[in-house]
Amino acid sequence: MAEKKGPEREIHVDMMGLAFAKVMTIFTIVGIVLMVIPAIAYFAGINQYVPLTEAHKYWNMSASEFWIHVTGRKITGYAWIFDHLDKMDCLSMIGVLVLMITPLLSMLAGAAKAENGTYRILLLIAALEFIASILVKSIAAAAGGAKKVAGKVKK
């Protein structure tokens, strides 16, 4: 069998691709760490917003029914996370949020380094759509927040 020599020259990778990859690497690690460390504390029973023993009883219900039974509130935005950052399960969600916006940050980094104007515009359009979709949800959250449901008591 002939010995493989490897590529005869360097592979060309766009600058926008390299910038995209670098930012994605950094924020993925940050997101996973921010998600896992508070989750370990949560599983250890430290500062729980949703007690594990309660979640256990209702996790077969739809998401809306679950929250009504567990907290007496219907979840309609990000308030359940940001209002309870002292609770480990909510704090763990910050890591998921970082993972969610990592592609956005990567697209912006790629657009900044794009050598071609069309690709810069395409990546910026994708980034703007990304931001718009997150904002729409945030506006819904501000309008709704954690709505109290009659007849249920928040723990």
Partner 1 sequence: MAAWWFWPLFMFVFTLLIGIISPVSGVGGGVLYVPLATVITPFSVDFIRGAGLVMAVTSALSSVPYLIRKGLANIRIFAVIAPVMVITSVVGGWVGLWVTNAYPDGKYVIKVLLGAIILLVFFIMILSKRVEFPEVSEEERDSLSRKLNIWGEYYEPDLDTIVEYTTKNTPMAIVTFAVIGFVAGMFGLGAGWANVPVLNMMMGVPIKVATATSMLIITANAPAIGIYMTRGAILPLIVVPSILGITIGARIGAKVAEIIKPKFVRWLVLAILFIAGVLNIIKGLQGMGVIPPILPGVS
Closest CA to 108 of 12, 27, 39, 29: 27
Question: Should residue 33 be labelled a site residue for partner 1 when binding is judged by CB under 8 A?
Answer: no
**Shortest separation between residue 129's beta carbon and partner 1, angstroms:** 4
Q: Which of residues 80-99 bind partner 1 (CB under 8 A)?
A: 80-81, 89, 92-93, 96-97, 99
**Shortest separation between residue 132's beta carbon and partner 1, angstroms:** 9
User: Judged by CB, which is closer to partner 1: 85, or 140?
Assistant: 140
- Among residues 8, 86, 117, 150, the one that binds partner 1 under rule CB under 8 A: 8
- 133-109-36 Cα angle (round to 5): 70
Q: Hey, is 154 helix, strand or coil?
A: coil
Residue 76: count of CB within 10 angstroms of its CB: 18
Q: Which of residues 35-74 bind partner 1 (CB under 8 A)?
A: 35-36, 38-39, 42-43, 50, 52-53, 55-56, 59-64, 66-67
Tell me the C-alpha to C-alpha distance, in Å, between residue 72 and each of 65, 77, 125, 144, 155: 9, 15, 40, 15, 8
Question: Should residue 129 be labelled a site residue for partner 1 when binding is judged by CB under 8 A?
Answer: yes
Number of shown-chain residues binding partner 1 (CB under 8 A): 75
Q: Which of residues 103-122 bind partner 1 (CB under 8 A)?
A: 103-104, 106-107, 110, 116, 118-119, 122
Q: How far apart are the first and last CA of the chain?
A: 70
Amino acid at position 33, single letter? V
- Among residues 14, 69, 149, 152, the one that binds partner 1 under rule CB under 8 A: 14
- State the alpha helices, DSSP H only, in 44-144: 52-58, 63-71, 79-82, 88-113, 117-144
- Among residues 130, 147, 149, 152, the one that binds partner 1 under rule CB under 8 A: 130
